Amino acid sequence: MRFSLLVSSPPADSYGSDPALQFARAVVRSEHELHRVFFYGDGVFHGSALAVVPRDRPDTAEQWAALAAEHQVDLVLCSASATRRGVLDRDEAERRAHPAASAHAAFALSGLGQLADTYLLGDRIVTFGGTR
């Protein structure tokens, strides 16, 4: 079975963030496939390379990046949500004449068309967090 995840809770929200990562790890350990993780709303903060993580919390951007690298999983930040929150990849920063990119290199910015594609290509979409 092919799973995709929709994460809309920020990294600091342990009720949506931690379970999403735990579920993703469980999927890749199983016989199932984790196709894509789409970060929407405040969930795009998972892809920020500028986040300052408290010592008692893991760096979720690095955890997602490691999972994606090891298991060839797409990590997609909703471009509208990300730009509104100042999470820009190199191309978007350049297009907006912004002085620097702030998105972690393991995450790609894309529009809601990518989310629609996720729904079409996946067998199951599992949502973590509320919609904001």
Q: Which residues are catalytic?
A: 78
CB 40 within 8 A of CB 8: yes
Q: Which residues contact 80 (CB under 8 A, 6 or more apart)?
A: 111, 112
H helix or E strand, kind and range, residue 52: none
Tokens 């894309």 found at: 110
Residue 29 CB burial class (10 angstroms; 0-12, 13-18, ≥19): exposed
